[in-house]
Structure 1
Amino acid sequence: MATQGSPAVARHRLRLALRKAREAKDLTQGEVAASLDWSLSKLQRIEGGENSISATDTRALLQILGVTDGPTVEALVNDARQARKRSTWDEPRFREFLTPAMKALVEFESHARVIRAFQTVLVPGPLQTPELARHVISSWSDELSEEERAVRLEFRLSRRQVLARPQPPAYLVALDQSVLYRDVGGPAVFASQLRQLLADLRGGRIELRIVPFRVPAIVALGLPFSVMSLDGDDDSVLYRESHLVDELVTTPEKVRRHLQLFDLLWQQSFSKEESERLLEERVARLLEAPDQAPTRST
């Protein structure tokens, strides 16, 4: 499912522009809020991307910040309008079952120029085959209703469309070596998944590196994360997930730290050729397995 416009991206773009303009004028948030008779918390939430802002308030704020160039003002006002709209994933049948971070994630994936994904347990969601995704989602049957699992599966499978964009992102994937030996879904399903990764790698849709066991655990065993960069590394957002919690992070210091961590992992990974060879060898072993039945997740 394609994302028609992007409220999350528009809000992100607007908040960065407003903060940059304020800093260029050497004004504090308190000074700007006082000039507009706003509460400090209102401006903080706008700059933090937590709240949207009306077109009228945007024009007033830009005037205080000295942004008067006509096209620039109109572009930012349009961003303010777009940020207040609902995305496809805000439709009633999805809204109840997707977290705010999930809905924003797919919007940023749809607009990113570079995506960096590090995984310690599973193949990243956009790269999962339908069979593997279905198996992973079904393992949550004790905690998610059938309807919720169906929505989550539809959402996950839709994310692969990021690779089919007219101008797809540079998609960099770092997989901990242990992922290769966790045959989720059973040998047949997981072998098919690894063959899909090989096809994506050879087709130039992704760049992939395997992070060796020898990389210190303190470096390699953090939470899985993805960083989506829109117009450069300085314009990036971070998505992190654990067993029950996910979050979208825009704090510059945290995003920068994860970019540095990804670069470190990438540098210490096996080469492209060696990573491809490891995938091929694992597929061969899986296809030799006597029991091809899916394994039950616990």
Structure 2
Amino acid sequence: MVLRDARESAGLTQLEVAEQMEWSLSKVIRIENGDVTIAPNDLRPLLSFLGVKDRTIVADMLATAKIARTRQTQRHVWYQTPEFREHLTDGTRRLIEYEAEASSIHSYSVFHIPGPLQIPSYSEALMNMWRDEMSEEQRRVRLDGRQRRHDGVLGRIGSLRMTALLDESVFMRAVGGPQIFADQLQEILRLEERKLVSIRMFPFSADAALSYNAGFDILFIGADNDLSNAVMYRESGVSDEIVEDHAITERHYRRYQKLWEAARSEVETVQFVNKRIRDLTGQKI
């Protein structure tokens, strides 16, 4: 797309454009991907910032933008359709946008397996814990969204790398019962074998303090570990949000790294998970 090429030619990141234009990073991503149209009044200053000065190119892009707005040809991705907009929070929809663009995702959880790694039966059992706090329609839509996120992650094997730092309690909490949880752990091992995710367990015996958050994800857009292109998603009680503040995101990522180093290694974690599966299913060595 012309805007993406112009930004890259100018040596700018999507986050730098977002800050200059006073937009969210997700808006820049959606515009570059063609998921949303851009108003001519927004396009003019954007082109100026990107250094696009050729009058013919500018006029053509403005005309295209006007036609797109007039005809309302905005293309909706699944999570922006009315059904999902009604039942998914704004934070969750923005998280899904970032998951589709991220080069790496680092997830930390003390309660459950991260959403993109969940199998349907585990997701359903987890959602059932909150059945009294949501309608059946909301539950159905959220389960559908969870499965789409899982499929989207699988479709990006080779271009996406994940790490998952999970408290030992996650592995001990058999959500859905022994067989469903064993199947979920098998899926984790399968994804680990396919080099999509690296998993470490933070044991009860670790001589290090837990993070002050129950769970969060750090997503890098572009170069891996370039914190200028990182955002954070976090859940707190019944709310969730995307955080684009550099200082907050960096503080959480540094904390994640310390916990990662204090956790069991990937090899030790896989061994623990295999033993946990045997315990759940009654298998013998």
Same topology, TM > 0.5: yes
Cα deviation, 1:180-203, whole Å, max 9, x if unaligned, reads: 111111111111111111111122
Partner Cα separation in structure 1 for residue 78 and residue 162 of structure 2: 24
What corresponds to 1:244 in structure 2?
A: 238
What corresponds to 1:207 in structure 2?
A: 198
Q: Counterpart of 2:166 in 1: which secondary structure?
A: strand
How is 1:46-125 mapped onto 2 (pairs within 5 angstroms)? Answer: 46=23, 54-60=39-45, 62-63=47-48, 65=49, 67-68=51-52, 86-125=76-115
Partner Cα separation in structure 2 for residue 110 and residue 66 of structure 1: 24
How is 1:77-226 mapped onto 2 (pairs within 5 angstroms)? Answer: 86-161=76-151, 162-165=153-156, 167-215=158-206, 218-220=209-211, 222-226=213-217
> Aligned-residue CA RMSD in angstroms?
3.2
Q: Aligned residues: percent identity?
A: 30
How is 1:251-270 mapped onto 2 (pairs within 5 angstroms)? Answer: 251-270=245-264
Q: TM-score, normalised by structure 2?
A: 0.77
Q: 1:183 to 1:217 in 2, by over 3 A?
A: farther
Cα deviation, 1:146-190, whole Å, max 9, x if unaligned, reads: 111000000001111212226431111111111111111111111
Q: 1:100 to 1:85 in 2, by over 3 A?
A: farther
Q: Counterpart of 1:208 in 2: which secondary structure?
A: strand
Question: For this pair of structures, how many residues does the alignment match?
Answer: 250
Structure 1 portions without partners, runs of 5+: 1-12, 23-42, 290-298
Q: CA deviation at 1:285?
A: 1.1
Q: TM-score, normalised by structure 1?
A: 0.74
Q: Counterpart of 2:130 in 1: which secondary structure?
A: coil
Q: Counterpart of 2:182 in 1: which secondary structure?
A: helix
Q: Which amino acid aligns with 1:133?
A: S
Structure 2 portions without partners, runs of 5+: 1-12, 32-37
Q: Is the 8 A contact 1:163 1:169 kept in 2?
A: no
Q: Counterpart of 1:96 in 2: which secondary structure?
A: helix
Partner Cα separation in structure 1 for residue 139 and residue 172 of structure 2: 26
What corresponds to 1:29 in structure 2?
A: none
